[in-house]
Structure 1
Amino acid sequence: MMMKYSTLGKIGPRVSKIGLGLAALGRPGYINLGHAEDLKSNYNTGAMQWHACQMLDLAWSLGIRYFDAARSYGKAEAFLGAWLESKKQMVELPFVASKWGYTYTANWQVNAKVHEIKDHSLVVLQKQVLETRQSLGKNPDLYQIHSATLESKVLENTQVLRRLAQLKARGVKIGLSLSGIDQAVTLEKALAIEIEGVRLFDVVQATFNLLEKSVAPALTMAHNEGLGVVVKEALANGRLTFRNTDVHLKPEWQLLKTQADRLNTTVDALALAYVLKQPFVNVVLSGAANPEHLKSNLTALDVVWDEEASEILNPLVQIPEDYWAARKQMDWN
Structure 2
Amino acid sequence: MKKRKLGRTGIEVSEMAFGTVALGLPYGLGIEHESQLLPEDKAVQLLQTALGRGIDFFDTARQYGKSEALLGRAFRQRRQEVVIATKCAHLRNKDHTLPAEKELAAAIERSLAESLEALQTGYVDILMLHDGDEEIIRHVGIRKIFEAYKKEGVIRATGVSTYTPQETKAVMDSGGWDVVQVPFNLMDQRQAALFDALDQRGMGIVVRSVLLKGLLSERGQQLHPALKKVEQHIASYAPLSKASGLGLPQLATKFVLAFPQVSAVLVGIDRMEYLQEALDTVAGKVLEPEFFEQARNGAFKDPGFLNLHEWSVQGWLK
Q: Give the TM-score of the pair, scaled to structure 2.
A: 0.84
> Structure 1 CA distance, aligned partners of 2:32 and 2:244?
30
Give unmatched runs, 5+ long, in structure 2.
none
Alignment of 1:79-158 (within 5 A): 79-85=70-76, 87-88=77-78, 93-102=81-90, 121-138=104-121, 139-150=123-134, 153-158=135-140
Going from structure 1 to structure 2, the CA distance change for 1:318 and 1:297 (only over 3 Å counts) comes to farther
Deviation for aligned residue 1:291: 1.3
Amino acid in structure 2 at the alignment position of 1:162? K
> How far does the alpha carbon of each residue in 1:198-242 deviate from its partner, in whole angstroms, 9 at most, with x for none?
x42111110011111111122321111101110011111001111
Residue identity over aligned pairs, in percent, reads 25
Moved more, 134-143 or 305-314: 305-314
> How far does the alpha carbon of each residue in 1:120-158 deviate from its partner, in whole angstroms, 9 at most, with x for none?
8433212101101111122211000001112xx213433
Going from structure 1 to structure 2, the CA distance change for 1:118 and 1:6 (only over 3 Å counts) comes to farther
> Structure 2 CA distance, aligned partners of 1:144 and 1:283?
15
Q: RMSD over aligned Cα, in angstroms?
A: 2.7
Within the candidate set 165, 168, 172, 2:147 is matched to: 165
Alignment of 1:1-333 (within 5 A): 3-27=1-25, 29-30=26-27, 32-35=28-31, 41-43=35-37, 48-85=39-76, 87-88=77-78, 93-102=81-90, 121-138=104-121, 139-150=123-134, 153-171=135-153, 172=155, 173-179=157-163, 183-193=164-174, 199-245=175-221, 252-301=233-282, 302-313=284-295, 314-324=297-307, 326-330=308-312
Which secondary structure does the structure 2 equivalent of 1:238 belong to? Answer: coil
Deviation for aligned residue 1:9: 0.7
Deviation for aligned residue 1:42: 4.0
Amino acid in structure 2 at the alignment position of 1:126? E
The answer as to whether partners of 2:168 and 2:182 remain within 8 angstroms in 1 is no
Name the structure with the higher helix share: 2
> Structure 2 CA distance, aligned partners of 1:34 and 1:252?
21
Give unmatched runs, 5+ long, in structure 1.
104-113, 194-198
Deviation for aligned residue 1:282: 0.6
Structure 1 runs of 4+ with >6 Å offset: 117-120
